[in-house]
Amino acid sequence: MFAILGDIEFTVAGGLTGLEQNSTADWAEHARIQGKPLLEWIGEGLDTCNLTMDLHPMLGDPEARLRALREAKSKREPLAFVMGSGEYLGAYVITDIGNTLRRGTAVGQIAAATVQVSLKEYTGVFNRKVLRPGMLDPALSGTPAAGMGSPGLISKVTAPASPTQMAIRHAKTVGNVLRAAKNTYDSVKSGSPSMILGQVPQLLNVTSRAIAPLQGFKAVAGLLDDGADLSRLSDDVLGSVMGSRSSLDPVDLGNIVDRFASSRDSLSQAATTLNNAGTRLAGLAAQVLTRRA
């Protein structure tokens, strides 16, 4: 899936050939006596997007696809626009649908056509409709896809979290723990050897908080059909976390500086490994938001 607008999916395999995005700013022009006009910034303009796709029977039912777009336009409602990576672009309305018929059947049906869909940013109050209880999970807060609707406001009757939702939750927890641990290490690194030695219990404590969510992440990854890479990810991050902890046990005043540096490097490796999987994790969030998981 390349992108989804409301419930309408756009795929490259389905004929999508282009996406044009435009962002503008509004400037007022004030005339001046004996001088060039003065520009004054008023505010940001509305973003626009233009989608171009080819319709052909081999890419899906052309009539049905065009009808879905026209029905969405006729409802005059803002729609959530989300990229397949999970990036939430915002709420948009369909302002124009252009259809260029390139080949038709003897009875006037579309055999081949090029469709252009114009979207304009909607800045009013927008709450994405939840079609089933618990579709949006609080664990998505902070992810690229979390901007869609209000993830914190879910149905009172919350459905059990799916393995994908649980994986996102554990990954978010691990990320928060690693960031907190990095901040702790950064606050200690410039201290004297005796001061660093005195902070070892705190360093061990903060890194230990990542172990349980990493184990949980590995467990739910095993429940996913395509979770092998996520399972390896959890092993890699956990290995770095355990390496960070083992560097600090045992330590003494004579080796604490070197051991601390080694522990800090391992912790940084854990954070880097998790950050490098950002696109993959955003994809999981997109699956949840598009009701695929």
52-111 pLDDT, tens digit each: 998 888 777 888 888 889 999 999 999 988 887 777 888 899 999 998 888 888 877 888
Structural domain boundaries enclosing 237: 163-289
Chosen domain end from 76, 100, 126: 126
Q: How many domains, in total, are found in the chain?
A: 2
Chosen domain end from 126, 154, 187: 126
The pLDDT assigned to 235 comes to 93
Highest mean pLDDT among 3-17, 141-155, 257-271, 274-288: 257-271
Identify whether residues 266 and 187 lie together within a single domain: yes
Average pLDDT value over all residues in the chain: 82
Span 101-133, pLDDT tens digits: 888 888 778 888 899 999 999 988 776 654 444
Quick check: is 78 in a domain? yes
Instruction: State the pLDDT confidence band at 153, using cuts at 50, 70 and 90.
Output: very low
Residue at 291: amino acid letter: R
Identify whether residues 61 and 115 lie together within a single domain: yes
Q: Is the predicted pLDDT of residue 230 greater than 50, yes or no?
A: yes
Identify whether residues 285 and 217 lie together within a single domain: yes
Identify whether residues 63 and 18 lie together within a single domain: yes
CB neighbourhood size of 47 (10 A): 18
The pLDDT assigned to 222 comes to 87
The pLDDT assigned to 290 comes to 63
Quick check: is 40 in a domain? yes
The pLDDT assigned to 129 comes to 57
Quick check: is 207 in a domain? yes
Identify whether residues 270 and 205 lie together within a single domain: yes
Q: Is the predicted pLDDT of residue 293 greater than 70, yes or no?
A: no
The pLDDT assigned to 98 comes to 92
Quick check: is 138 in a domain? no
Span 211-227, pLDDT tens digits: 998 998 999 888 888 88
Contacts for 68-77: CB closer than 8 Å, 24+ residues apart: 68/8, 69/8, 69/94, 69/97, 69/115, 69/117, 70/97, 72/5, 72/6, 72/8, 73/97
Identify whether residues 111 and 191 lie together within a single domain: no
The pLDDT assigned to 151 comes to 36
Q: Is the predicted pLDDT of residue 172 greater than 90, yes or no?
A: no
**Beta-strand (E) ranges in the chain?**
3-5, 8-10, 16-22, 25-32, 35-44, 48-55, 79-83, 88-104, 110-121
Is there a contact between 54 and 17 (Cβ–Cβ < 8 Å)?
yes
The pLDDT assigned to 169 comes to 85
Chosen domain end from 77, 107, 126: 126
pTM, two decimal places: 0.51
Q: Is the predicted pLDDT of residue 265 greater than 70, yes or no?
A: yes
Identify whether residues 98 and 215 lie together within a single domain: no
CATH number at residue 185: 1.20.120.660
The pLDDT assigned to 152 comes to 37
Quick check: is 251 in a domain? yes
Quick check: is 152 in a domain? no
Q: Both tokens of residue 214?
A: 């990493």
Quick check: is 43 in a domain? yes
Residues of the chain with pLDDT > 90: what percent? Answer: 33
Identify whether residues 16 and 109 lie together within a single domain: yes
Identify whether residues 95 and 198 lie together within a single domain: no
Quick check: is 143 in a domain? no
Identify whether residues 169 and 279 lie together within a single domain: yes
Q: Is the predicted pLDDT of residue 150 greater than 50, yes or no?
A: no
Residues 6+ apart with CB under 8 A from 38: 29, 30, 32
Identify whether residues 168 and 88 lie together within a single domain: no
Q: Is the predicted pLDDT of residue 245 greater than 80, yes or no?
A: yes
Identify whether residues 73 and 121 lie together within a single domain: yes
The region of weakest confidence among 29-33, 34-38, 142-146, 183-187 is: 142-146
Instruction: State the pLDDT confidence band at 257, using cuts at 50, 70 and 90.
Output: very high
Instruction: State the pLDDT confidence band at 145, using cuts at 50, 70 and 90.
Output: very low
d(CA 29, CA 12) in angstroms, rounded, equals: 42
CATH number at residue 85: 2.40.30
